[in-house]
């Protein structure tokens, strides 16, 4: 009987110890992930960067914070994992995303020291492209020089024609008021359709002082040369098509026939 009482007492002590241990194990809620903004965010025109900011609250203490991109193929981490926080119960965070050129969906992931993970609401970032300015349809124009007089029709393009190179038999189409004067590949005439593309092409091409490809000794000659000029805020895409020399007149009349395009205006 005495032995049975001892066994019963031991069982009661073990049970009491188990309950005491369970009471000592505190149960923490998962982290709470707050963001300064959520839902759909439409970026300003041409802006490719956005900073996701907020705070993670955790009674257990935050262990790490990540930024994830949400895709149909799964979630992928963007940037570095944030760890080692001064106050792990309330952690401010900031992630800067660059190179946004379409729609991007992101969310913040936070894990506490109890290995419990929570997520913020999804944030949809919408890139807004800068509106493109189309070039006009091709317009015809002529550059003409009568005898030794200065050429006409070039001023609009920031160019001048005041001489021919006799030893080479070519017209000298020189830069005048143009800020930049370049020659582009022949396919640029068809491929460049917007002001933005023309600006980029002019920026990347080498500046030149003059263009010397038009023969001034042949009665008629054809060309397929593409030029471009920047005159202040205006850009011109120029196609040199043909040239004529009318030696029946005195003085001789030299004519260069071109097409050109510039930015459309409203």
The residue among 180, 172, 169 whose CA lies nearest residue 151 is: 172
> Per-residue pLDDT averaged across 213-231, rounded?
96
Q: Do 148 and 99 share a structural domain? A: no
The predicted-structure confidence for 71-118, as pLDDT tens digits, reads as follows 999 999 999 999 999 999 999 999 999 999 999 999 999 999 999 999
Q: Which of 128, 162, 197 is the last residue of a domain?
A: 128
Strands 123-128 and 39-45: parallel
Asked if the model's pLDDT at residue 1 lies above 70, the reply is no
Q: What is the pLDDT of residue 22?
A: 47
Q: Do 155 and 122 share a structural domain? A: no
Q: Do 257 and 152 share a structural domain? A: yes
Asked if residues 229 and 181 have their Cβ atoms less than 8 Å apart, the reply is yes
Q: Do 102 and 169 share a structural domain? A: no
> Per-residue pLDDT averaged across 11-29, rounded?
60
Give the three-state DSSP class for 114: coil
Q: What is the pLDDT of residue 21?
A: 46
Structural domain range at position 101: 30-128
**Token reading at 111:** 């894990």
Q: What is the pLDDT of residue 15?
A: 54
> Per-residue pLDDT averaged across 222-232, rounded?
98
Q: What is the pLDDT of residue 89?
A: 98
Give the three-state DSSP class for 115: coil
Query: What does the alpha-carbon distance between residue 116 and residue 218 come to, in Å, rounded to a whole number?
Result: 85
Domains in the chain: how many in total?
A: 2
Task: Tell me the pLDDT band of 26, cut-offs 50, 70 and 90.
Answer: confident
Q: What is the pLDDT of residue 14?
A: 53
Task: Tell me the pLDDT band of 29, cut-offs 50, 70 and 90.
Answer: very high
Asked if the model's pLDDT at residue 67 lies above 80, the reply is yes
Most confident of 13-17, 159-163, 164-168, 236-240: 236-240
Task: Tell me the pLDDT band of 59, cut-offs 50, 70 and 90.
Answer: very high
The predicted-structure confidence for 147-201, as pLDDT tens digits, reads as follows 989 999 999 999 999 888 776 799 999 999 999 999 999 999 999 999 999 999 9
> Per-residue pLDDT averaged across 67-72, rounded?
98
Mean pLDDT of the chain, nearest integer: 92
Q: Which residues pair with 67 in a beta bridge?
A: 78, 108
Is 71 inside a domain boundary? yes
**Token reading at 64:** 């790490």
The predicted-structure confidence for 46-58, as pLDDT tens digits, reads as follows 999 999 999 999 9
E strands, 130-199, where?
Answer: 139-146, 159-165, 170-175, 180-184
The residue among 69, 57, 74 whose CA lies nearest residue 118 is: 57
Q: Is 45 exposed, middle or buried (0-12, 13-18, 19+ CB in 10 A)?
A: exposed
Asked if the model's pLDDT at residue 33 lies above 50, the reply is yes
Q: Which of 128, 152, 174 is the last residue of a domain?
A: 128
Query: Which CATH number covers residue 71?
Result: 2.60.40.650
Asked if the model's pLDDT at residue 214 lies above 70, the reply is yes
Q: What is the pLDDT of residue 166?
A: 72
Q: Is 112 exposed, middle or buried (0-12, 13-18, 19+ CB in 10 A)?
A: buried
The predicted-structure confidence for 128-140, as pLDDT tens digits, reads as follows 998 999 999 999 9
Q: Do 146 and 122 share a structural domain? A: no
CA dihedral 62, 64, 67, 73 (to 10 degrees): -110
Q: What is the pLDDT of residue 163?
A: 87
Is 187 inside a domain boundary? yes
Is 198 inside a domain boundary? yes
Asked if residues 144 and 155 have their Cβ atoms less than 8 Å apart, the reply is no
Cβ-based neighbours of 85, under 8 Å, separated by 6 or more: 62, 91
Q: What is the pLDDT of residue 236?
A: 99
Name the H helices within 174-248: 188-191, 195-204
């Amino acid at each position: 009987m005495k032995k049975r009482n001892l066994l019963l007492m031991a069982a009661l002590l073990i049970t009491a110890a188990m309950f005491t241990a369970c009471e000592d194990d505190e149960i923490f809620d998962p982290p709470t992930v707050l963001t300064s903004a959520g839902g759909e965010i439409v970026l300003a025109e041409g802006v490719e960067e956005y900073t996701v900011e907020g705070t993670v609250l955790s009674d257990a203490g935050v262990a790490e914070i990540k930024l994830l991109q949400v895709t149909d193929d799964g979630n992928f981490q963007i940037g570095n994992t944030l760890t080692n926080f001064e106050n792990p119960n309330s952690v401010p965070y900031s992630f800067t995303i660059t190179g946004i050129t379409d729609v991007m969906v992101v969310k913040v992931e936070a894990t506490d020291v109890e290995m419990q993970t929570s997520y913020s609401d999804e944030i949809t970032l919408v890139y807004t492209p800068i509106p493109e300015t189309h070039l006009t349809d091709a317009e015809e124009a002529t550059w003409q020089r009568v005898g030794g007089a200065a050429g006409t029709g070039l001023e609009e393009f920031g160019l001048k024609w005041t001489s021919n190179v006799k030893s080479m038999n070519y017209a000298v189409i020189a830069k005048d008021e143009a800020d930049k004067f370049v020659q582009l590949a022949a396919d640029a005439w068809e491929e460049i359709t917007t002001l933005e593309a023309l600006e980029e092409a002019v920026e990347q091409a080498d500046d030149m002082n003059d263009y010397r490809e038009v023969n001034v000794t042949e009665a008629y000659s054809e060309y397929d040369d593409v030029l471009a000029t920047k005159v202040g805020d205006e850009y011109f895409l120029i196609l040199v098509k043909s040239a004529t020399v009318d030696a029946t007149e005195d003085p001789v009349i030299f004519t260069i026939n071109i097409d050109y395009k510039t930015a459309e205006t409203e």
